[in-house]
Each structure stands twice: as structure tokens, then as C-alpha cells.
């Protein structure tokens, strides 16, 4: 509210007086709310930061507390341009020399050439299609008067689930055309055989027969179906497909190309040590982030003599002390088992600042020599990761310690906002009242001054009054 001053000429600076009185009244409460808001906001933000670091740590624990991580097996090929490999969890470690002599192929067969104006008969005719002489026969009804394109489309619709497709190849020099059938099924004995009735008999073809070299327009195979041939440690083997699942138990070999001379592929099957190493390092990194974050949130930094130190948002906080105490206790709690009993057995040790450091050489040696023991150390209901998770879950879960505290701080911030609104209303009311009082006083002084001036003028006008010269 803006004051209206100077009505009676009292000479008082009412605006300044009212402002001083209002500030004197509101300053203590404003400062108190400001301090409380700053402290509450700082603590709320600090708890959110701590919760984030705990969430990251919990995620790392979940990644390491997975028994399948220690069951995984890897299979690598030294010549991926020739073959690749993968292994299931039951694969036994081993090293194999593999040579790809030939790949499994599928059948592709061409019909005899016919005129581009070819049409099926005046009545419905039938195409019989099969893979191999003993394969199941699929009969396809072709509508009367179908040209070559329509015949192709009807065949593709009927054969799409058989892995067989047909297309047209035209000879521009003669104007003739033929159907070419392709199969996705590899392996010897899976040649495409097609035969037709009526006019369609001109499109019959046997994928096991070669084209007549004396007649380029004759029917026959373009490629024959054949088995893959490869060797494992010198033993020659065959497969109907290029994905071989039964040559080495629980190992899948994917044949890609014929092996060049002198470039035999070495296939190594072993435990997934790289995956375990990566997850252990994620666990250590997440723990170090938690410790570093906690240190920053509880740190007191001196900024010079006579100055207030800079403090973290959770200095002296019991929640942080209890949390870190529980976690550190589990870290040094030894496992009752053979092989790996503590993090130190894997080259993981605690530094002066509370963080963990990894000796990579010791870790790799432990993984190589005690792979299964490391698995039981970390995983399971009594494993380190489960024990650590149980210690932090009460802090981080929905409705847990941190969430409850943050909810309480949020309520405090909401209450501060309400107190600010109440204070502003009280200040406005006080300001309005003071302006009314001072303006009333100013008006009264103005009236008294005017009365005094009139009385003086009247007295001076009376007879016998001698004016004095100034």
C-alpha cells in the first residue's frame, strides 16, 4: 500500500517511518523462515542425492546377484569370416579346430522356357510341388486362363508357408520366359520338384536333374540342395543346415563361408569371465559412488578464520551413519566356504577414504581359479549381494526411511510457504493500519496549524495592536 503524505504539512516522512516500523516487525520472522527454508531445502536435496546413489548401488547388486551370470558360457571363433559360435550354460570348456569345406545349399530350379504369352488351360489345372522325391506334395490349383505372372502369384500365395517361392526370368533376345523356383530349405535330397497338368505340364521341372547342355531353354536345376561339410579336430562331418547344433554338445556353430587354406578357425568354449568381471567392477564403482556421495554430504569445509564453515546437507545425520555402518559391516563379514571368503581374496580392498580398489591381476586370477566359489560368494540368499541389499532396502524402498524423511521435509516446506503467506497478510494489515494512523495525525497537525494561523491573523487585526517590524 502506498502512503498519501503531506496533507497537513507536518513535514514527517510517513513512507519511511511506516517502512521502518513494518521491517522491524517482520524482519525476525522473515529471517527465521528463510533460514528454515534454506536448511530444509538443502537437506531435502541431499537426501535425494543419497537416494540416487543408493538406487545405483542396489541396481549393481541385482546385476551381480544373478546365478545365470556364473552359468553363462562363451564360445569364440578365431575366424569369424568363416564361422561363429555360441554356447549354452551346459557346454564344457574346450578348444576345437574347425574347417568349413562347403556350405549347405538350397535348391533353385528353372522351368523350361515358354512364350511370354503363355496361359494355363481353359479349365482349372494343378501344380504339384515337393522337396525331394519322398517329400510331402503340395497341390496348387491354378485358375483357368492364368498368364505366367498370375500363375507365379498363385504359387507364391500357396507356397509361402513351405519356404518355396517362384519368380519370372525373361529372355529379352527371344521374348521367352520361365519360372524359377527357390527354396529356403538346405541339405541334400531337398531339391524342388514341380509338375503340372494340362498346359502347366510345360512348366514341370526336376531340381535333381541338370539342364540339357545342348538346350539352354530346357528345365533343370540352377543350384542343387546339398549338405554342409566341415571338420572338427580333423573329423569330417556333414550337416543339412549351416547352423550346426549337435557336432559339439551344447555349442552352436554358424557356418558362414568356406575356410581359406591355412586359416582354420579355433573355437574356444569357456566360462563367461568377462561378464562376471564387468559386473564386479560395476558393483565396486557403484559402492564407491555411494561412499563419495556420503562423504560430500557430511563434509565440513573450513573457509578461513572467523568465517562459518561450508557444510554438507547431511552433516551429523544419523541416517547416513547407520546406513554406512550396516553396509561396511557386511562387506567385511567373511563367507563360510572354500575358495573365496572375502573381497580381499579377489584383490578388492578398502582405501583410506572408505572406497574400494581393485587389483585387476588378483581379480582375474581368482576368477580363473575359483570361478564357482566367486558365484556362491556373491549370489544366493546368504551371498554378499543379498545381505547388502537387505541392509539398504529399508532405506530406499517405497515408504522407507529416506522417503519418509523427504515427505516430512516436503511438509515442512509446504508449512513454510503457508507461514510466508500469513506473514505477508499480517504485514499488509499492519502497513495499512500505520498509514491510517500517521495520515490521521498528519491531517490533525495540518488542521491545528491552519487554526493557529487564523487566530494569529485575527489578533493582529484587533485595534491597539502594534505590529513589530521584523
- The CATH number covering residue 152 comes to 2.60.40
Assess whether pLDDT exceeds 50 at residue 15: yes
pLDDT band for position 402 (cuts 50, 70, 90): confident
The answer on 208 and 125 residing in a single domain is yes
* pLDDT attached to residue 9: 55
pLDDT band for position 460 (cuts 50, 70, 90): confident
Closest CA to 207 of 107, 299, 139: 107
Q: How many domains does the chain have?
A: 3
The answer on 251 and 149 residing in a single domain is no
- H or E element that contains 245: strand 243-248
pLDDT band for position 367 (cuts 50, 70, 90): very high
**Per-residue model confidence as pLDDT tens digits over 244-255:** 998 999 999 999
The answer on 348 and 303 residing in a single domain is yes
The answer on 338 and 297 residing in a single domain is yes
Assess whether pLDDT exceeds 80 at residue 309: no
Assess whether pLDDT exceeds 50 at residue 154: yes
Closest CA to 282 of 351, 385, 369: 385
Record the cell numbers describing residue 195, joined without a space: 509338375
The answer on 260 and 129 residing in a single domain is no
Residue 470 falls within a domain, yes or no? no
* pLDDT attached to residue 239: 97
- Sheet strand arrangement including 73-77: 73-77, 265-271, 94-102, 228-232, 235-239
d(CA 342, CA 205): 72
DSSP-assigned letter for residue 116: T
* pLDDT attached to residue 209: 93
The answer on 396 and 334 residing in a single domain is yes
* pLDDT attached to residue 10: 60
* pLDDT attached to residue 290: 95
pTM of the model: 0.65
pLDDT band for position 1 (cuts 50, 70, 90): very low
Record the cell numbers describing residue 53, joined without a space: 546413489
Q: Which residue has the higher pLDDT, 332 or 432?
A: 332
Name which of 3-17, 171-185, 204-218, 314-328 the model is least confident about.
Answer: 3-17
The answer on 155 and 95 residing in a single domain is no
**Contact (Cβ atoms closer than 8 angstroms) between residue 406 and residue 44:** yes
Assess whether pLDDT exceeds 50 at residue 442: yes
Assess whether pLDDT exceeds 70 at residue 11: no
Residue 414 falls within a domain, yes or no? yes
The answer on 260 and 408 residing in a single domain is no
**Per-residue model confidence as pLDDT tens digits over 186-210:** 999 999 999 999 999 999 999 999 9
Residue 147 falls within a domain, yes or no? yes
* pLDDT attached to residue 6: 46
As a whole number, mean pLDDT of residues 160-185 equals: 95
The answer on 297 and 264 residing in a single domain is no
* pLDDT attached to residue 38: 77
As a whole number, mean pLDDT of residues 141-152 equals: 96
Residue 380 falls within a domain, yes or no? yes
Residue 313 CA neighbour count, 13 Å, CB half: 19
The answer on 303 and 331 residing in a single domain is yes
As a whole number, mean pLDDT of residues 117-131 equals: 95
In the chain, % of residues over pLDDT 90: 60
**Contact (Cβ atoms closer than 8 angstroms) between residue 116 and residue 174:** no
Residue 449 falls within a domain, yes or no? no
**Per-residue model confidence as pLDDT tens digits over 29-81:** 878 888 888 788 888 898 899 999 999 999 999 999 988 888 889 999 999 99
* pLDDT attached to residue 406: 87
Average pLDDT value for the chain: 89
Last residue of a domain, one of 271, 289, 304: 271
Residue 458 falls within a domain, yes or no? no
* pLDDT attached to residue 469: 57
d(CA 396, CA 176): 76
Assess whether pLDDT exceeds 70 at residue 341: yes
The answer on 232 and 217 residing in a single domain is no
pLDDT band for position 467 (cuts 50, 70, 90): low
Residue 146 falls within a domain, yes or no? yes
As a whole number, mean pLDDT of residues 274-290 equals: 95
* pLDDT attached to residue 468: 57
Highest mean pLDDT among 219-233, 326-340, 407-421: 219-233
Can you list the alpha helix ranges (DSSP code H) found in 65-159?
A: 67-71, 148-159
| Residue indicated by cell numbers 485358375 | 143
Highest mean pLDDT among 14-23, 304-313, 363-372, 400-409: 363-372
The answer on 299 and 403 residing in a single domain is yes
Assess whether pLDDT exceeds 80 at residue 28: yes
The residue segments making up the domain with residue 179 are 106-223
* pLDDT attached to residue 464: 62
pLDDT band for position 361 (cuts 50, 70, 90): very high
pLDDT band for position 3 (cuts 50, 70, 90): very low
Residue 326 falls within a domain, yes or no? yes
As a whole number, mean pLDDT of residues 8-24 equals: 75
Amino acid at each position: 500500500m502506498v502512503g498519501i503524505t503531506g496533507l497537513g504539512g507536518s513535514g514527517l516522512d510517513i513512507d519511511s517511518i511506516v517502512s521502518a516500523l513494518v521491517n522491524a516487525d517482520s524482519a525476525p520472522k522473515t529471517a527465521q523462515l528463510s533460514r528454515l527454508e534454506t536448511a530444509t531445502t538443502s537437506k531435502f536435496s541431499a537426501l535425494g542425492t543419497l537416494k540416487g546413489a543408493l538406487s545405483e548401488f542396489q541396481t549393481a547388486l541385482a546385476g551381480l546377484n544373478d546365478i545365470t551370470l556364473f552359468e553363462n558360457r562363451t564360445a569364440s571363433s578365431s575366424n569369424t569370416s568363416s564361422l561363429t559360435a555360441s554356447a549354452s550354460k551346459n557346454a564344457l570348456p574346450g578348444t576345437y579346430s574347425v574347417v568349413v569345406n562347403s556350405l549347405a545349399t538350397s535348391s533353385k530350379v528353372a522351368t523350361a522356357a515358354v512364350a511370354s504369352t503363355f496361359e494355363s488351360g481353359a479349365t482349372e489345372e494343378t501344380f504339384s510341388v515337393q522337396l525331394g522325391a519322398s517329400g510331402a506334395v503340395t497341390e496348387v490349383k491354378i485358375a483357368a486362363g492364368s498368364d505366367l505372372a498370375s500363375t507365379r502369384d498363385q504359387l507364391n500365395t500357396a507356397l509361402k508357408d513351405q519356404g518355396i517361392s517362384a519368380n519370372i526370368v525373361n529372355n529379352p533376345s527371344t521374348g521367352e520366359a520361365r519360372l524359377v523356383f527357390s527354396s529356403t530349405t538346405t541339405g541334400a535330397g531337398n531339391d524342388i520338384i514341380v509338375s503340372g497338368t494340362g498346359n502347366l505340364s510345360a512348366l514341370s521341372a526336376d531340381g535333381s536333374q541338370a539342364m540339357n547342355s545342348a538346350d539352354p531353354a530346357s528345365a533343370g536345376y540352377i543350384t542343387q540342395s546339398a549338405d554342409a561339410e566341415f571338420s572338427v579336430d580333423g573329423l569330417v562331418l556333414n550337416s543339412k543346415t549351416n547352423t550346426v547344433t549337435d557336432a559339439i554338445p551344447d555349442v552352436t556353430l554358424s557356418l558362414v563361408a568356406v575356410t581359406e587354406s591355412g586359416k582354420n578357425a579355433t573355437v574356444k568354449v569357456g566360462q563367461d569371465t568377462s561378464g562376471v568381471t564387468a559386473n564386479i567392477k560395476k558393483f565396486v564403482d557403484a559402492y564407491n559412488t555411494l561412499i563419495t556421495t556420503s562423504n560430500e554430504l557430511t563434509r565440513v569445509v573450513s573457509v578461513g578464520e572467523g568465517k562459518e564453515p561450508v557444510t554438507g546437507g547431511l552433516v551429523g545425520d544419523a541416517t547416513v551413519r547407520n546406513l554406512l555402518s550396516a553396509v561396511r559391516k557386511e562387506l567385511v563379514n567373511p563367507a563360510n566356504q572354500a575358495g573365496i571368503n572375502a573381497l580381499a581374496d579377489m584383490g578388492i580392498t578398502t582405501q583410506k577414504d572408505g572406497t574400494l580398489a581393485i587389483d585387476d591381476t588378483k581379480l582375474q586370477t581368482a576368477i580363473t581359479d575359483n570361478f564357482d566359489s566367486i558365484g556362491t560368494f556373491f549370489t544366493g540368499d546368504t551371498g554378499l549381494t543379498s545381505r547388502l541389499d537387505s541392509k539398504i532396502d529399508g532405506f530406499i524402498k517405497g515408504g522407507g526411511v529416506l522417503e519418509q524423511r523427504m515427505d516430512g521435509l516436503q511438509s515442512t516446506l509446504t508449512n513454510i510457504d503457508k507461514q510466508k503467506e500469513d506473514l505477508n497478510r499480517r504485514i499488509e494489515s499492519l502497513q495499512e493500519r500505520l498509514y491510517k494512523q500517521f495520515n490521521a495525525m498528519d491531517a490533525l497537525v495540518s488542521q491545528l496549524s491552519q487554526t493557529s494561523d487564523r487566530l494569529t491573523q485575527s489578533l493582529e487585526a484587533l485595534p491597539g495592536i502594534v505590529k513589530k517590524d521584523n
